[in-house]
Chain A
């Protein structure tokens, strides 16, 4: 799913976000990445989504090299990823259903399938009764579940969630992490970043990676770093 070989990332202003690292994440894994703010978690997600390209080394996602000059390929790659953003990035003024359907519109689905799939996933995140309600009137936690439904309804090969537990109390945070982990199957991997290290023991990730100042410190799991 994800392969990194001596990959590093340095921003234009000189900030070193990720020091050279090797990484390999396989199919069907749930990987939790923790670390304090500014440790490089979001930078790693930016690499995965092709928002940034490595300064040195090689980085591959689902077999697609992340490098300059492959914009169209990266756009195609993103259709196989289900991203859950920290700020959700839901479309204001649209209903829950419209937001979830939006993620499916440019995939290979017929209009009736799109609605059916979206409704199914909205039910699975527990918002079936609010599917026709505008996202503007939802609570923070409900918006997050819409974002999850939008990401997972695309049946992606890789789900990436950036700080999905931020601002949540422990119980809700665990619920969200477990909900995300529940979408893992033999073909789908889930990558979750969180600075809430105290939650790590509450779920059972395949691997746990800890980051600090752009460096990976392997904590638990298979041979990843």
Chain B
């Protein structure tokens, strides 16, 4: 360990020289990597937000079950108890016709005056059943077989769309993350190969003097890791700045959006990006050196 540390100054000096010699190329690489990492942070944020949003919507997934108007209160209570026992049913609430009217008035807001055009309350009493979306099919089948229920409104199309969007965004997130990983790998390993090529004579001399591979390769590995790390840091700074600006713009624009603690997530994504950039830089440098060795 100590033996390796004695050359720390040399390694850092070499890294400085290598970066300086490939100055413009290194600069462009950092910019490209920063942009790639920045896009990734945005994709990850979108992925996370959409997952949180769809999860919240899934938790709100409801089925409305309508029963005959002449059914007794006892029967309604019995029906509620029966449905509550079903697997996947979270809550069962009896909504009276008046409550249904009030709910719609609330949703319509200023447009609620249209409801006053009706002579009578157009809404019926129903059971509001909160469910686990994964159990939608068996719950619906059981409810449809229940003689005491007249009509089931399942919102199936909307719920299925939400589920599909959620899967699509997750898939997009995975693809983007993979694309970023591969791009970083290619760019960083290419930088390393360029660096090795530019220092071929020096490497050859060191080999002839008996320098071990670790001694020769370490400056290039540090270079790759450093460039990727700088890119990760720049991307994280840009991301945090961007999210702050976007946050100011969108604050309160989407009132029905669930309240989410974003700050912790944004910081986690930034720190994660920096760590991943460092790891990718290290791996790509090793890969670049391996390719060069084979050559």
Contact = CB atoms under 8 A, between A and B. Distances in A.
Interface of A: 49, 51, 75-81, 83, 85, 89, 91, 93, 102-103, 105-106, 110-111, 154
B10 A105 contact: yes
Instruction: Report, nearest first, the 6 A-B pairs whose CB atoms are least far apart.
Output: A78-B210, A79-B210, A89-B205, A106-B215, A106-B211, A111-B6
A49 B208 CA distance: 7
A78 B210 CA distance: 5
A186 B2 CA distance: 33
A79 B208 CA distance: 9
B23 to A, nearest CB: 14
Given A106-B215, A110-B6, 19 more contacts: A49-B208, A75-B207, A77-B210, A78-B207, A78-B209, A80-B210, A89-B204, A91-B205, A93-B17, A102-B10, A102-B209, A103-B209, A105-B10, A105-B215, A106-B209, A106-B210, A106-B211, A106-B212, A154-B209
- Give the interface SS of chain A, mostly helix, strand, loop or mixed: loop
Contacts of B208: 49, 51, 78, 83, 85, 89
Contacts of A78: 207-210
A154 to B, nearest CB: 8
Nearest to A105: B7
Interface string B174-217: 00000000000000000000000000011011111111100100
Interface in B212-239: 212, 215
Given A93-B17, A105-B7, A105-B10, A75 B201 contact: no
A152 to B, nearest CB: 13
A91 B205 CA distance: 9
29 contacts: A49-B208, A51-B208, A75-B207, A75-B210, A75-B211, A77-B210, A78-B207, A78-B209, A78-B210, A79-B209, A79-B210, A80-B210, A81-B210, A83-B208, A85-B205, A89-B201, A89-B205, A91-B205, A93-B17, A102-B206, A103-B209, A105-B7, A105-B10, A105-B211, A106-B7, A106-B211, A106-B212, A110-B6, A111-B6
Contacts of A75: 207, 210-212
A83 B207 CA distance: 11
- Give the interface SS of chain B, mostly helix, strand, loop or mixed: helix
Contacts of B205: 85, 89, 91
Contacts of A51: 208
Nearest to A104: B209
Contacts of B201: 89
A106 B212 CA distance: 7
A219 to B, nearest CB: 29
A76 B215 CA distance: 13
Nearest to A87: B201
Contacts of B204: 89
Interface in B7-48: 7, 10, 17
A75 B207 CA distance: 7
Nearest to B10: A105
Interface string B62-74: 0000000000000
Nearest to A99: B205
Contacts of B7: 105-106
A25 B206 CA distance: 26
Nearest to B209: A103
Nearest to A90: B205
Contact of A91 (B202, B210, B212): B202
B171 to A, nearest CB: 47
Nearest to A112: B6
Contact of B209 (A83, A93, A110, A111): A83
A190 to B, nearest CB: 17
Nearest to B21: A93
A93 B17 CA distance: 9
A80 B209 CA distance: 9
Contacts of A103: 209
B216 to A, nearest CB: 9
Contacts of A110: 6
Contacts of B211: 75, 105-106
